[in-house]
Copies of this chain bind each other. A is one copy, B any other.
Amino acid sequence: MKFRTSPDILPPRGHPAKRQSIIDAAAAVFCREGFAGANIDLVAAEAGVSRQTVYNHHGDKEKLFAAVVADITERCNARAFSVLSTFPDNPEDLEADLTVFAMRLNKSCIWGRDGRFLAKLIHAEGERHPELFETWRREGPGRVWSALAARFARLAFAGHLDIDDPDLAARQFLALVNVDLHIPWLFGETLSEEEQSASAARAVRTFLRAYGRKCEVAANALEEVHEA
């Protein structure tokens, strides 16, 4: 209910393996039940640990929650950056390569455990406790997005794209990639591999219609117009 004082995370004590297993279990429980509904006994049981050990490691429920957020944030950002490093800087077939990249992004950051958990935690507590997610905002959207924007800018500079505002293009790319995933995601449903790749392909196609090289767009358009 408070988080008033700086929500320090307790310094590592005891065995790190248990510490991590507690955080993993707590993440699952907090996401399933919400902060108020989460039960420390359940966390302990799910972590295969006694309740007292949970308290030894993390002090109290709020500190445990803060530790979970920090942990998930870190892993999520790491994963995002790792996917980012597979961006097609020298594309052979830009549309195909971007589609593959979009699918990897989906798989890692949206359907992945960490991504889902982080999103749920933010939705549940972001409004009431924005402090907890400041790290994420700084490192996540703040850095990942601008890194993606830099990649797009490079593609544009190399003549593969026509982009005036790379940051905007990056955000719109991510939004388009999410279009078909959002609703199923909300209800815990999954998309088949084919659906995912079809969705990614549609997103990339639209993105390229908007940001593809002008002369190519012009050529394609003229061609189609002539046909009609």
Contact = CB atoms under 8 A, between A and B. Distances in A.
Q: Which applies to chain A's interface (DSSP): helix, strand, loop or mixed?
A: helix
A206 B172 contact: yes
A127 to B, nearest CB: 4
Contacts of A175: 175-176, 178-179
A57 to B, nearest CB: 24
A122 B124 CA distance: 11
Contacts of A120: 123
Ranked nearest first, the 7 interchain pairs of A and B with the lowest CB-CB distance are A36-B37, A218-B221, A209-B210, A210-B210, A127-B188, A34-B34, A123-B123
Give this chain's copy count: 2
Interface residues of A, number: 45
A66 B124 CA distance: 19
Contact of A133 (B172, B187, B202, B211): B187
A35 interface: yes
A37 B1 CA distance: 10
A115 to B, nearest CB: 14
Interface string A188-228: 10000000000000110011011100110110011011000
A93 interface: no
Interface string A175-187: 1101110010011
A143 interface: no
A187 B127 contact: yes
Contact of A209 (B34, B127, B176, B209): B209
Contacts of A171: 179-180
A120 B122 CA distance: 11
Given A123-B123, A124-B123, A221 B210 contact: no
A131 to B, nearest CB: 10
